[in-house]
């Protein structure tokens, strides 16, 4: 059998579609926690550049960098005070230019966050808007009168707790904020706001970026009539008031589709036909909005939601349900999938498989990521098998985690520093005290411990992503699920109407039978965990999986 460490790449067949991002794998970098080069305990752009050779070794196609723009850091960069500059804590525009140059030299595309549904309250736009009800930017944000009793205009709630409205004494009105009060919501019903955001995006396209991840995009436009949200039909067991509402009026306004088309057209004109745009879509029923924003040729490249990164357990039926929502049809958009990111608990903890051997779950999920149709995102440290860190309350900095303590650990535990060197102080992340603690348990999983170990989780990720890159069916083929037991994730990838690749993963402890492949065809297991031999097995043992390729 060809083990993952022995895999030799084969030349891929010519891609049917030319956009680089179709079937791509992208590595998410949270810059505060990736690599610090100046000893202040916070990662920076120079640190990312320093580690790009490592990123390229993962066999990914690009990187997505979370916000590094000028910000007071109330929400750690997602409260943008200047869309067209780098916050000094991360470096300078020159540092960014060097990062892009090095990434491109290594064959890596560069995608950056764009936060278009809100700004910082320190942004010049908001400072101007709050001065008076009649000025050039007076309606660049969502302002509203109080109710006769002085209370907020409606019942909308903030994701981080409390009303989604804050009183501004200077203007004598309430302003909307879906997150912190320091993050006022932009009024995307105003075409001047949309134009200004597009110009900010073009600034970064001119500096060489290859794509945008559009943060919380469906929160950029709400019901102008400000109608109350109804109660969620089933709020039993929910711990956040925000989740107890059905956000039919505060999110995903229908007019946002026209804004999406305007942005997509402008960015493709500036960045080229295959410029990548992906929307993050939240909410209780995100899929219809995702399809709206991505269907056809005039809208965004892709979208992703919290279907996987918010799921609390590994479920084969759930994985199938989410993936099957994206049929290979032009009018249904193109999917992207992430198992972890900076906003949710790490998949190695959320989806821990009870009774599975150590490191087994991480490899099984890597198999699925390597084989699933769409764009796949790998969050920094996921390739090391990092688990969620329990950050004590006194060391937390995440406003959501602090506000919802003790019922929610918040986001800090997924944002702790990347462990590079197991023998160095702070695992090689920084010479100074890190902004969040380095988990001692992560030190054992450091890059230095795994880099030259062919049996490591890191080696498995590298091999799986290389297989995805080199096999045209895994990158560009259609996807069809094969029925099986409840613990089995099993699907074929079909290229030019021929089943060319197959992924089968058993998430349960008991052996399960596998459906027979087409008669008369030869299949070879190219990557597996928990198996012996290179023949396609009739039975898949508990907590095992494979990718097979038609030879």
280 is catalytic: yes
Q: Are 99 and 49 in contact (CB under 8 A)?
A: yes
215 is catalytic: yes
CA distance 432 to 421: 15
User: SS3 for 349-400, per residue?
Assistant: HHCCCCCCCCCHHHHHHHHHHHHCCCEEEEECCHHHCCCCCCCCHHHCCCHH
Catalytic residue among 36, 61, 280, 383, which?
Answer: 280
CA distance 216 to 305: 10
Q: Are 471 and 68 in contact (CB under 8 A)?
A: no
Hunting for tokens 């320190």 — which residue is that?
Answer: 122
Catalytic residue among 215, 362, 412, 470, which?
Answer: 215
CA distance 277 to 60: 18
CA distance 487 to 508: 5
Using a 10 angstrom Cβ sphere, with 0-12 exposed, 13-18 middle and 19 or more buried, the burial of residue 113 is buried
User: In whole angstroms, how far apart are CA 452 and each of 9, 54, 57, 448, 527?
Assistant: 19, 12, 12, 8, 19
Q: Where are the alpha helices (DSSP H) in 395-542?
A: 399-403, 440-443, 447-450, 457-470, 472-476
- Name the residues annotated as catalytic: 215, 280
């Amino acid at each position: 059998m060809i083990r993952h460490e022995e895999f030799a790449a084969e030349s891929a067949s010519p891609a049917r579609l030319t956009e680089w991002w179709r079937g791509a794998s992208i590595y998410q970098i949270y810059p505060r926690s990736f690599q610090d080069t100046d000893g202040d305990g916070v990662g920076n752009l120079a640190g990312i550049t320093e580690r790009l050779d490592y990123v390229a070794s993962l066999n990914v196609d690009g990187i997505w960098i979370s916000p590094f723009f000028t910000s007071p850091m109330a929400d750690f960069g997602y409260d943008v005070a200047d869309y067209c500059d780098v916050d000094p804590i991360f470096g300078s525009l020159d540092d960014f230019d060097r990062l892009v140059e090095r990434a491109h030299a290594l064959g890596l595309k560069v995608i950056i966050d764009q936060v278009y549904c809100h700004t910082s309250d320190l942004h010049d736009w908001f400072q101007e808007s709050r001065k008076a009800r009649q000025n050039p930017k007076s309606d660049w944000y969502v302002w509203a009168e109080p109710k006769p009793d002085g209370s907020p205009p409606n019942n909308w709630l903030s994701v981080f707790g409390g009303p989604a409205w804050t009183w501004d004494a200077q203007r004598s009105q309430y302003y909307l904020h879906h997150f912190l009060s320091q993050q006022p919501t932009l009024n995307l019903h105003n075409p001047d706001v949309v134009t200004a955001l597009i110009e900010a995006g073009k600034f970064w396209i001119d500096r060489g970026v290859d794509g945008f991840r559009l943060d919380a995009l469906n929160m950029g436009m709400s019901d102008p009539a400000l109608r109350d949200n109804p109660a969620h039909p089933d709020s039993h067991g929910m711990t956040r008031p925000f989740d107890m509402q059905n956000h039919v009026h505060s999110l995903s306004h229908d007019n946002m589709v026209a804004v999406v088309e305007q942005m997509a057209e402008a960015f493709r004109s500036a960045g080229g036909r295959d410029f990548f745009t992906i929307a993050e879509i939240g909410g209780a029923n995100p899929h219809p909005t995702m399809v709206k924003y991505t269907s056809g040729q005039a809208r965004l490249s892709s979208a992703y939601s919290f279907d996987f990164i918010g799921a609390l357990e590994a479920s084969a039926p759930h994985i199938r349900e989410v993936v099957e929502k994206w049929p290979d049809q032009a009018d249904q958009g193109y999917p992207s999938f992430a198992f972890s990111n900076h906003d949710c608990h790490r998949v190695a903890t959320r989806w821990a498989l009870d009774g599975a051997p150590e490191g087994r779950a991480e490899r099984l999920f890597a198999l699925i990521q390597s084989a699933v149709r769409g764009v796949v995102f790998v969050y920094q440290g996921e390739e090391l098998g990092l688990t969620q860190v329990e950050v004590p309350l006194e060391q937390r900095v995440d406003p959501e985690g602090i506000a919802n303590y003790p019922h929610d650990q918040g986001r800090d535990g997924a944002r702790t520093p990347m462990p590079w060197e197991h023998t160095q102080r702070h695992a090689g992340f920084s010479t100074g005290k890190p902004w969040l603690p380095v988990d001692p348990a992560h030190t054992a999983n450091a890059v230095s411990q795994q880099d030259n170990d062919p049996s490591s989780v890191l080696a498995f990720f590298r091999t799986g992503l290389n297989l995805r890159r080199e096999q045209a069916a895994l990158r560009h083929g259609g996807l069809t699920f094969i029925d099986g037991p409840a613990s089995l994730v099993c699907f074929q990838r079909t290229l030019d109407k021929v089943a060319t690749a197959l992924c089968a993963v058993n998430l349960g402890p008991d052996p399960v039978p596998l459906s027979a492949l087409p008669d008369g065809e030869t299949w070879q297991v190219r990557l597996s965990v928990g198996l012996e031999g290179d023949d396609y097995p009739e039975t898949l043992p508990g907590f095992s999986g494979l990718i097979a390729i038609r030879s």
